[in-house]
Amino acid sequence: MKAVLIVSFGGPEGPDQVLPFLRSVTQGRNIPDARLAAVGKHYDHFGGVSPLPRACRELAGELDERTYLGNLYSAPRISEAFDSMAADGITSADVIVLSSFGSDASCRRYAKAVRKAEIPTRRLPLIGAWPGFVEVWRAVLPKDDRRVVFTAHSLPASMADCSPYEARIRAACAQVGAERTWTLAWQSRSGNPRQPWLGPDVNEVIEDGDVVVPLGFPTNNLEIEWDLGVEAATIADIEVVRPPPLGELARAALASDVRLPEVCGPACCER
């Protein structure tokens, strides 16, 4: 019996889950709880709830197959999802990774977790490669002549240099933003401020009247709601476009026979 597994970063669904979630994300980096609590205030603004788990459940509800959810950093973990599949008699699974463009953070880490499964799996291409991806994003762009500022999650330059992440995002921007005035900015960087990351930052780029389009994110999440909807919106009078529904594209991707390699290549599993 076959099923679908949607894997994502994860997120808290209540105030008591915020700090444990942030500890899980930063495990091994010796970040004090006081600093994590400061980051946690972003979640507190929304009642301690990340939009991502709900977005995962909504996508699961749009699929025809029996669907399980698994996360890297919050319950249910990816390993727990596979345990549930085994208990339910599932013998193979198609895996949707909720990432649009590949890098170590957005592809390789998920691939490593999925490879631990004891049942055969097929990892679908990342969402930015799905047929129809460009068209659904074009459909949610406002039909006017305002400048479009596309955004994606920034990465350390050293990580970005080892993957096609930036190049593929720029190519997607050119397709979605065809016949529009557009630029690409990066958002949500963290860590050591002395470490080079992809730039410029969205808050350095936006101007009154811009339409901000988080093309690098497949579903709604805290980075969109806080970093753009709250922080960036205090800097300029902008409109933030939310990601379009994925259900139709996901059903088409599941019906195809395309898969990603079982083992990542030396530079990136998408090369």
On whether both 67 and 118 belong to a single domain, the answer is: yes
Look up residue 155 and give its two tokens. Answer: 């990465």
Domain of residue 83, residue span? 2-129+246-255
- Locate all alpha helices (DSSP H) within the chain, ordered by sequence: 15-25, 33-44, 51-61, 78-87, 109-114, 133-140, 157-160, 165-176, 202-205, 222, 233-235, 247-255
On whether both 49 and 121 belong to a single domain, the answer is: yes
Encode pLDDT of 187-201 as tens digits. 999 877 789 999 999
Encode pLDDT of 230-262 as tens digits. 999 999 999 999 999 999 999 999 999 877 655
Look up residue 98 and give its two tokens. Answer: 């909720």
Q: What is the CATH number of the domain that holds 53?
A: 3.40.50.1400
Residue 112 lies in a domain: yes
Query: Is the pLDDT assigned to residue 267 strictly greater than 80?
Result: no
Residue 262 lies in a domain: no
On whether both 122 and 144 belong to a single domain, the answer is: no
Mean pLDDT of 216-222: 96
On whether both 22 and 106 belong to a single domain, the answer is: yes
Encode pLDDT of 86-114 as tens digits. 999 999 999 999 999 988 877 888 889 99
Please give the Cα distance from 208 to 213 (Å, whole number). Answer: 15
Query: Is the pLDDT assigned to residue 265 strictly greater than 70?
Result: no
Encode pLDDT of 127-169 as tens digits. 999 999 999 999 999 999 999 999 999 999 988 888 899 999 9
Query: What is the CA 18 to chain-centroid distance, rounded?
Result: 19
Residue 168 lies in a domain: yes
Note the pTM of the prediction, 2 decimals: 0.93
On whether both 12 and 141 belong to a single domain, the answer is: no
